Amino acid sequence: MNIVVTGGAGFIGSNFVYYMLENHPDDKIICYDKLTYAGNLETLEKAQSNKNFKFIKGDISNREEVEKLFIEEKPDVIVNFAAESHVDRSIEEPELFLKTNIIGTSILLDACKKFGIKRFHQVSTDEVYGDLPLDRPDLFFTEKTNLHTSSPYSASKASADLLTMAYGRTYNIPITISRCSNNYGPYHFPEKLIPLMIINALNDKKLPVYGEGLNVRDWLYVEDHCSAIDLILQNGKVGEVYNIGGHNERSNIEVVETILHILGKPETLIEHVTDRKGHDLRYAIDPTKIEEELGWTPKTSFSDGIRKTIDWYLENKSWWEKIISGEYQNYYERMYSNR
């Protein structure tokens, strides 16, 4: 099988590339990525020597480039990770999110219609369901929960989901969609909560917690997300949506305190800053469908996963030091100074 992984130079996409190269040595994995600020070829360094791996620089929202990809690589499967993925950036610059996440997905789907495909898998997010109240721990997102988005990012991802389903029904494209909770693990770009807090703590910098830090996220170790997508590709029912999550709910402040504790750094590094606009309160996935239909279970608990993640950042300083010494500094200044 020729499997095209769009966005494979980013956090989850790169972990998926490594997962597939290891678990499916008979498949060819083609990473198609625009290499935006979030894409990093160094992340794929260990894959480059694998004869089953190929990297192509390209933009999902460029029709000509996408058609060339289909003509030259003849993909059997597309797994679409490519996206603008950071909520705070979507609040600053919504239009880019519409272009990449909506138009880009539609161009990939058009190419599937034109050239044919065995499976188009859209990597979506639990954020399409909006949020749950903090005082109702009995409520969870199921696949039947209404789409109810809060940020330009989540609205763009929900739009892409709707387009994917529409192309499935109208043009009979064999689609599947997965909606996963918050991932963490190796190669996570330092703009996101967990790597940002690990790196700031290591550098004895303040840890900027939005508001009181009581918002809750449902954390999943990235490899467990990869195994879930792999199962959906193999045994998932065409046309279906699968929620992915491992019941690892933590408030942001709990996560930050855990990181400080593991690193032996003082809690005085925590600084409460102005809250995110429209900040979703709580995400919590009900993964019953993927567990019962496909037999998926997550392998890594939060306590093991966070230690493995911290160890990875300790052992791979050069990967993140390069990132935070570049354009990231302007981003950080824009987002956090005088906040």
Distance CA 76, CA 63 (A): 19
How far, rounded to the nearest angstrom, does the alpha carbon of residue 17 sit from its chain's CA centroid? 13
Residue 82 interacts with ligand NAD (CB under 6 A): yes or no: yes
Kind of pairing, strands 2-6 and 77-80? Answer: parallel
Stretch that binds ligand NAD, among 5-13, 106-114, 195-203, 256-264 (CB under 6 A): 5-13
CA angle 275, 278, 282 (to 5 degrees): 85
- In whole angstroms, the minimum distance from the beta carbon of 17 to ligand NAD comes to 11
Please identify which residue in 192, 232, 258, 302 interacts with ligand DAU, judged by CB under 6 A: 192
**Binding-site member from 3, 4, 5, 10 for ligand NAD (CB under 6 A):** 10
126 is known as an active-site residue = yes
Residues of this chain, 102-161, that bind ligand NAD according to CB under 6 A? 104, 123, 125, 157
Among 33, 59, 126, 223, binds ligand DAU (CB under 6 A): 126
- By beta-carbon proximity to ligand NAD, the closer residue of 75 and 269 is 75
- For the bound state, the minimum distance from the C-beta of residue 266 to ligand NAD, rounded and expressed in Å, comes to 28
Residue at shortest CB range from ligand NAD: 10
Beta carbons of 231 and 19 less than 8 angstroms apart: no
Catalytic entry in 18, 153, 242, 313: 153
Q: Of the candidates 317, 294, 193, which has an alpha carbon nearest to the alpha carbon of residue 244?
A: 294
HSE at residue 108, side-chain half, CA atoms within 13 A, is 34
Q: Does 69 bind ligand NAD (CB under 6 A)?
A: no
* Long-range contacts at 37-40 (CB < 8 A, ≥ 24 apart): 37/327, 37/328, 37/331, 38/10, 38/11, 38/84, 38/85, 38/86, 38/189, 39/7, 39/9, 39/10, 40/9, 40/10, 40/14, 40/187, 40/319, 40/323
> How many H helices and E strands in the chain?
13, 12
Site for ligand NAD in 266-325 (CB under 6 A): none
Which position among 59, 84, 127, 230 bears the catalytic label? Answer: 127
How far does the chain reach from its first CA to its final CA, in angstroms? Answer: 49
Q: Which two tokens stand for residue 45?
A: 């360094």
Does 85 sit near ligand DAU (CB under 6 A)?
yes
Looking at the Cβ atoms of 8 and 208, the one nearer to ligand DAU is 208
* Active-site annotation, residues: 126-127, 153
The residues binding ligand DAU (CB under 6 A) are 85-87, 125-127, 181-182, 192-193, 196, 208-210, 215, 217, 252, 276, 283
The residues binding ligand NAD (CB under 6 A) are 6-7, 9-13, 33-36, 38-39, 59-61, 81-83, 85, 100, 104, 123, 125, 157, 180, 182-183, 189
